[in-house]
Structure 1
Amino acid sequence: MKMILLLLMCFCTVAMAQTPGSSPKLVVCEGKAQGTYFIVKYLSSDTASLQTRIDSVFAVIDQSLSLYKPGSLINQFNATGEVKMDAHMRTVIDKAIYTSKATNGIFDITVKPLVYLWGFGVTKPSFKGVPPTDSIKKALSYVGYRYLKIKGDHLTTTKKGVQIDCNGIAQGYTVDVLGRFLDQLGIHDYLVDVGGELCAKGVNQMGNPWRIGIERPAPGDTTYEPIQAMVTLQDKGIATSGNYRRFFDQGRTRFAHTIDPVSGIALHSRIISVTVIAKDCFTADAFDNPLILMGVEKGLKFIAQHPAYGLEALYIYKAADGSIKEAYSPGFKDFLML
């Protein structure tokens, strides 16, 4: 799963809402799913737990998209090169291909052979460190979203051995599915967090937009500094990709789990993280990996040149002197609590 730099800045208990004349309470459901944690917070006058129903949502999506679940649809495809998709898988595959085209292949779910080669997959390689050049070249020969073909509800590949990994987008999709689930129950004030990928709607128990803190690593990358920035989130999604939770160091270079599907090389730039805000978490999650691979200058230029995607981003990176710097798109400032 992707590393996350976000902390929820609201109470983790059931508390009375502060809106005069109302009775809704803050209800919290939390647990483990998709290899990480989840927290769902919402305001409701009915405090009966939705835990079981939320767990069921995760179970259905995992049966479609989890690489950890034997027999899942994604594992069926990776084993045979074809699968009949359900609605969840079809939606995610469509979004993945759309994002691949939008980023000229910098986002590509067929990156799975490279992810495993670099040691960031479900199973670990027999060696540790930077893979041999010939191994990277071989893995790259199976990477390319254009090898994927959709006909009706069937997904196939035109090249034997092509496999997919949706971990770079599935959590954001799951967040939005849970949000729609709450909408259908008539719940309109909520915050959904799956491993740090979030969507927010309405207000918190104080009647204010949901507040989220963004933290940054200390210069030594072993501890965390205090909250670096606070953002307000209302009817938006937010996702973060970074380089200091899943990585390995070789020499003086840090290689993170985000793999460039064009070069086949793991992220090893000075960028620590990029936090992306979009109209929904699905979109934010889809673009955070390509934006971190683009780098600060190209990433911010991409956002400016493609306003239709509705993206705003905050980069945290190390300058040449080792100091930690920040850069963000103009619209991101509107979410910052200064």
Structure 2
Amino acid sequence: MKKLLLAGILLAGLGAGAQQPASRLMAYEGKAQGTYYIVKYVSADTTNLQSSIDSIFRVIDASLSLYQPGSAINRFNRDGKVQMDEHMQKVVEKALFANRATNGLFDITVQPLVYLWGFGVTKPSFKGVPPADSIKRALKLVGSRYLKMKGQELTTTKKGVKIDCNGIAQGYTVDVLGRFLEQRGIENYLVDVGGELCAKGSNQQNKTWSVGIERPSPGDTSYEPIQGIVRLPGKGIATSGNYRRFFDQGKTRYAHTIDPKSGVALHNHIISVTLIAPDCFTADAFDNPLILMGVTKGLQFVEQHPEYGLAALYIYRDEDGVIKEAFSNNFRQYMEY
């Protein structure tokens, strides 16, 4: 799963004055999906939910984890067909929607390229940039047009096509956990899975949940970040960046985000893009495409498609190597810095 630029959850005070005396701040954390998770909520219900939370992760991993040999996604990649469970069906449907919305820049059939560039479960026999002919061969297996859904059945129309849902599954998991809390009558919560977050209601101080993000100091060239704060009033947030999973070759840094059209790993001047959306699932579906679009086209995309409810913050290097930021007009409403 991709790692994100979100610095962590900020609670602006944990006094109980703004809530009913019986309400408490409950918190659970652990490891899952190759990263950490944190679930926090304010409620009078003090039932221990740890086992239920861990069970949700296990069920989703049995569907979408490439690290579990018997998972539904690995069965599809092995056989070219699978009867999808509820989780896989929703994720594949959203992935196909994002593929259409971004003109192919989001594509879960990018799996052969992810592995070829060394960012998959197994590593290639060589290190560094793959040979051009290898990229060309892998590209022949990339394209959501090769996927066919009929009810719960997913098949491929071309032998060798495989999928990787890591670019969207964490955001989906965050929302599933949020819905689980709501089903228990919990209306004030924040869920964080590896930096992908959703929030609803208020923290224990009766204020909108806030999260810290890393942003550069003005004119910084070394990227020593200062902390900014954004509010999440019933929203989801996700970030895609080139600062966690990458390798350097010569003077070029190649990140784990792969362009499904060119077959080349991200190596532009963008450090990260952070998206706020109506839910984390949507934010996660669009963050990779927007980092591939670049600052100008990405911000234009956000402005031209208000129906998706996106707000974007880019952190990038200009032509002189100076780190700067740019954001869509609607991102301002969430900023506290």
TM-score by length of 1: 0.96
For the Cα contact (< 8 Å) 2:312–2:331, is it kept in 1?
Answer: yes
SS at match of 1:182: helix
For the Cα contact (< 8 Å) 2:19–2:205, is it kept in 1?
Answer: no
Q: What does residue 10 of structure 2 align with?
A: 10
- Cα distance in 1 for partners of 2:64, 2:215 equals 30
What amino acid maps onto 2:147 in structure 1?
L
For the Cα contact (< 8 Å) 1:12–1:28, is it kept in 2?
Answer: no
Deviations, residues 232-257 of structure 1 (Å, cap 9, x unaligned): 01100000000010000011100000
Q: What does residue 310 of structure 2 align with?
A: 311
- Report the CA distance between 1:45 and its aligned residue: 1.6
Assess, with a 3 A threshold, how the Cα gap between structure 1 residues 20 and 27 changes in structure 2: closer, same or farther.
closer
- Cα distance in 2 for partners of 1:220, 1:337 equals 24
Q: What does residue 126 of structure 1 align with?
A: 125
- Cα distance in 2 for partners of 1:17, 1:152 equals 48
Q: What does residue 210 of structure 1 align with?
A: 209
Q: What does residue 149 of structure 1 align with?
A: 148
Deviations, residues 92-126 of structure 1 (Å, cap 9, x unaligned): 00000000000110000000000000000011111
What amino acid maps onto 2:225 in structure 1?
E
Deviations, residues 74-98 of structure 1 (Å, cap 9, x unaligned): 0000000000000100000000000
Superposed counterparts of 1:258-337, under 5 Å: 258-337=257-336
Q: What does residue 80 of structure 1 align with?
A: 79
Superposed counterparts of 1:66-77, under 5 Å: 66-77=65-76
What amino acid maps onto 2:7 in structure 1?
L
- Cα distance in 1 for partners of 2:221, 2:247 equals 17
Can you give the 5+ residue segments of structure 1 that lack an aligned partner in the other structure?
none
SS at match of 1:300: helix
- Cα distance in 2 for partners of 1:53, 1:12 equals 28
Superposed counterparts of 1:5-154, under 5 Å: 5-10=5-10, 17-19=16-18, 21-154=20-153
For the Cα contact (< 8 Å) 2:8–2:213, is it kept in 1?
Answer: no
- Report the CA distance between 1:46 and its aligned residue: 2.5
- Cα distance in 2 for partners of 1:21, 1:147 equals 54
Tell me how large the CA RMSD over aligned residues is: 1.5
- Cα distance in 1 for partners of 2:57, 2:276 equals 23
- Cα distance in 2 for partners of 1:133, 1:114 equals 12
For the Cα contact (< 8 Å) 1:8–1:211, is it kept in 2?
Answer: no
What amino acid maps onto 1:196 in structure 2?
G
What amino acid maps onto 1:133 in structure 2?
A
Can you give the 5+ residue segments of structure 2 that lack an aligned partner in the other structure?
none
What amino acid maps onto 1:47 in structure 2?
T
Q: What does residue 189 of structure 1 align with?
A: 188
- Report the CA distance between 1:18 and its aligned residue: 2.9
For the Cα contact (< 8 Å) 2:199–2:236, is it kept in 1?
Answer: yes
- Report the CA distance between 1:21 and its aligned residue: 4.1
What amino acid maps onto 1:78 in structure 2?
N
2:231 aligned with 1:244, yes or no?
no
SS at match of 2:176: helix
- Cα distance in 2 for partners of 1:11, 1:122 equals 36
SS at match of 1:168: helix
SS at match of 1:215: strand
For the Cα contact (< 8 Å) 1:209–1:232, is it kept in 2?
Answer: yes
Assess, with a 3 A threshold, how the Cα gap between structure 1 residues 48 and 219 changes in structure 2: closer, same or farther.
farther
What amino acid maps onto 2:76 in structure 1?
F
SS at match of 2:166: coil
- Cα distance in 2 for partners of 1:108, 1:258 equals 11
